[in-house]
């Protein structure tokens, strides 16, 4: 299951225009083969152009996009995905996610998940998944689609929000965890524990945070605009942390949730 999604991926949130294209090219040059975007990011067109302009064939790239919550009504969902494919300049994506569950269940989950599965049948996506789903919502989703349909749940995970209960539940259901915001918007750089571990390995605290996520058997999608950081992020996957170091990082949990909009579901504690 985890081998289906190349790890790490390259996240494109908040990137646009020339900066986005340079960053995607740097990522592909560094060896990334998984690019993550979303309707909400407003950059699908630039992502598509960057992929087309690169030396790496489309068939070798695992491309993810996500459906925004105001596009969940089934007809609109399918139209919006056609629009995404047109912007991306591709006939299919490798992974199509529901970006957020429908706020207050305005659109019943069954309606939009069945529509999502239909797009897979039509060949518009190879795999389907969800993002920001809670334990209860995952159970409901699996009940609707059956086991083995949902490839991943993309959730916020970093040393200060470790999301263990939800991650364990994903594992139980055979759903891979994709960790977004793995560097806690740069906060990992200032943490003394991560700095000490980084020193011991002669790497950066960011690399330690990424190695920790990999050792928890999760996929992650760090983002950067600097070629140097893009390269060091993928090199982080060569680091092995000791059990003691993993335990030290486990103690950094403080429930610090960064992605928490007013339409978010009732999170698992």
Q: What does each C-alpha distance from 44 to 14, 72, 189 come to in angstroms?
A: 12, 18, 30
Check if 41 is active-site.
yes
Find out whether 10 and 221 touch, Cβ atoms under 8 Å.
Answer: yes
How does pLDDT run across 195-246, given as a tens digit for each residue? 999 999 999 999 999 999 999 999 999 999 999 999 999 999 999 999 999 9
Rounded CA separation 135/141 (Å): 10
Looking at residue 2, its pLDDT comes to 59
Q: Which one, of 266, 248, 251, lies nearest residue 164 by Cα?
A: 251
> CATH for 2-182?
3.20.20.100
Selected catalytic residue, list 13, 32, 41, 112: 41
How does pLDDT run across 152-195, given as a tens digit for each residue? 999 999 999 999 999 999 999 999 999 999 999 999 999 999 99
Tell me the whole-structure pTM to 2 decimals. Answer: 0.97
């Amino acid at each position: 299951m985890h081998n289906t999604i190349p790890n790490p991926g390259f996240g494109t949130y908040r990137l646009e225009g020339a900066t986005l294209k340079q960053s995607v090219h740097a990522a592909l040059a560094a060896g990334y083969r998984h690019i993550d975007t979303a309707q909400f990011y407003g950059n699908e067109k630039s992502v598509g152009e960057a992929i087309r302009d690169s030396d790496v064939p489309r068939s070798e790239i695992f491309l993810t996009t996500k459906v925004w919550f105001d596009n969940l009504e089934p007809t609109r969902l399918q139209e919006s995905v056609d629009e995404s494919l047109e912007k991306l300049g591709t006939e299919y994506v490798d992974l199509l996610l529901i970006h957020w569950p429908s706020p207050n269940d305005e659109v019943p989950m069954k309606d939009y998940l069945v529509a999502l599965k239909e797009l897979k049948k039509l060949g518009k996506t190879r795999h389907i998944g969800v993002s920001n789903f809670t334990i209860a919502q995952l159970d409901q989703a699996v009940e609707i689609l059956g086991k083995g349909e949902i490839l991943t749940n993309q959730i916020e995970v970093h040393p200060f929000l470790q999301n263990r209960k939800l991650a364990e539940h994903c594992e139980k259901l055979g759903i891979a965890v994709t960790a977004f915001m793995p560097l806690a918007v740069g906060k990992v750089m200032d943490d003394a524990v991560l700095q000490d571990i980084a020193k011991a390995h002669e790497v950066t605290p960011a690399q330690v945070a990424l190695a920790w996520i990999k050792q928890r058997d999760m996929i992650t999608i760090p983002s950067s605009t600097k070629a140097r950081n893009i390269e060091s992020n993928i090199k982080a996957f060569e680091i092995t942390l000791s059990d003691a170091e993993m335990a030290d990082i486990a103690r950094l949990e403080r429930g610090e949730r960064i992605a928490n909009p007013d339409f978010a579901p009732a999170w698992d504690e």
